[in-house]
Amino acid sequence: MSTPAPSPVPAPGLPARVRIHEVGPRDGLQNEAAVVPVAVKAEFIHRLAAAGLTTIEATSFVHPGRVPQLADADELYGMLGDLTGTGVRLPVLVPNERGLDRALARGVREIAVFASVTESFARANLGRGVEESLAMFAPVVARATGAGVPVRGYLSMCFGDPWEGDVRPAQVTAVARRLLDMGCAELSLGDTIGVATPGQVTALLAALDAAGVPADRLAVHFHDTYGQALANTLTALRHGVTTVDAAAGGLGGCPFAKSATGNLATEDLLWMLRGLGIETGVDLDRLAATSRWMAAHLGRPSPSRTVRALAPEES
């Protein structure tokens, strides 16, 4: 039997190429219960690069005491020096100016800040309200861009919030405008609890466009909690978005939903894109093998349908 693969049949109204922003090492491992040794993380990132991923969010320079899974950020980043000059981008998350100092000292060339659209999540996750957190990010973004380091702005809870319920597009456009005006090069729209459906995606992208935030400045970050991540992604592609966040093997639970599924699995995304004839430059089989290897380290099977479907038969 040959290795299964989708039959490529392009559909109208879609981009020829999509850039995958791989978030497995940071967003994925941050939200896994197990703490992975730094050498395994470094090998993971190297394997992701070898599979053809060109943007790999490596880690977060948060306070080491705050997220034990990411306490090795300095050490890990130091183990990735051989990827410099290979064309692989290794952005890191930076929570504040102290984190930025550490990142710049390490030679980081690209960073991200993590904002919330809703007041409740801002307070729960960042320990301060939306306004105060944006005020905290402003000098981070200014200093980074001044140093020639582009900044991605994450917007979490763009489609629903576990405490507040519905999130209005106007809440998202307000925070999006602030982050762009601050100097962020790209914004990633996060469905942090995975509740979005395609009509909502269309409505939000239309609202952002009307607010002067074009699709070419946007990425989408869907979670598969309710099985909607691919439908939402396809909707965003139809509206001109060409950057999609995903985590190899579907790494990362969702801390606010009692479900094993968190981030959209990169392999599930690849199966769809390959079927649509959309270029990504990523080798699906190689990536799935990497996710099976990581699943063995985490002691739980990958939640990705594609990773499981491609698994060699148990002997």
Cα–Cα distance measured from residue 79 to residue 241, given in angstroms and rounded to the nearest whole number: 33
d(CA 173, CA 213): 8
Q: Does 263 bind Mg ion (CB under 5 A)?
A: yes
Please say which residue, 229 or 295, places its beta carbon nearer to Mg ion: 229
CA distance 179 to 153: 6
Q: Which stretch binds Mg ion (CB under 5 A): 78-86, 260-268, 280-288, 297-305?
A: 260-268
Other CB atoms within 10 Å distance of the CB of residue 237: 22
Residue 254 annotated in active site = yes
Q: Tokens 């599979």 label which residue? A: 51
Report the nearest approach of Mg ion to the CB of residue 90 (Å).
18
Report the residue number, 106 or 175, with the smaller CB distance to Mg ion. Answer: 175
Which residue(s) pair with 186 in the sheet?
152
Burial of 93 (0-12, 13-18, 19+ CB in 10 A): buried
Q: Which stretch binds Mg ion (CB under 5 A): 19-27, 133-141, 196-204, 293-301?
A: 19-27
Instruction: Give the H or E element holding residue 216.
Output: none
Instruction: Give how far Cα 79 sits from Cα of 55, 106, 133, 152, Å.
Output: 17, 11, 31, 23
* Contact call for residues 266 and 303 (beta carbons, < 8 A): no
Whether residue 236 contacts residue 198, with contact meaning beta carbons closer than 8 Å, is answered with no
Q: Which residues does 48 contact at the CB level (< 8 Å), separation at least 6?
A: 22, 24, 25, 56, 248, 287, 290
- Decide: helix, strand or coil at residue 93: strand
Stretch that binds Mg ion, among 152-160, 181-189, 195-203, 262-270 (CB under 5 A): 262-270
The whole-angstrom separation of Cα 174 and Cα 148 is: 26
Closer by beta carbon to Mg ion, 27 or else 110: 27
Q: Residue of minimal CB distance from Mg ion?
A: 27
Backbone angles phi, psi at 256, to 5 degrees: -110, 10
What is the nearest approach in angstroms of Mg ion to the Cβ of residue 60? 12
Q: Closest by alpha carbon to 266, among 251, 246, 286?
A: 246
SS3 189: strand
Closest CB 221 distance from Mg ion, rounded Å: 6
Q: Give the number of residues in contact with Mg ion, rule: CB under 5 A.
A: 2
Select from 180-188, 204-212, 256-264, 266-274 the region that touches Mg ion (CB under 5 A): 256-264
Closest CB to Mg ion among residues 34, 142:
34
Least separation, in Å, of the C-beta of 47 and Mg ion?
20
Report the nearest approach of Mg ion to the CB of residue 114 (Å): 10
Residue 263 CB, nearest approach to Mg ion (Å): 4
Catalytic residue among 254, 273, 287, 294: 254
Nearer to Mg ion, 32 or 183 (CB): 32
Of 22-41, which residues contact Mg ion (CB under 5 A)? Answer: 27
Should residue 191 be labelled a site residue for Mg ion when binding is judged by CB under 5 A? no
Nearest to Mg ion of 27, 32 (CB atom): 27
Nearest by Cα to 13 from 206, 279, 278, 209: 278
Q: Of the ranges 2-10, 21-29, 196-204, 271-279, which one interacts with Mg ion (CB under 5 A)?
A: 21-29
156 in contact with Mg ion (CB under 5 A) = no
Q: Which residues are catalytic?
A: 254
Q: Which residues make up the interface to Mg ion (CB under 5 A)? A: 27, 263
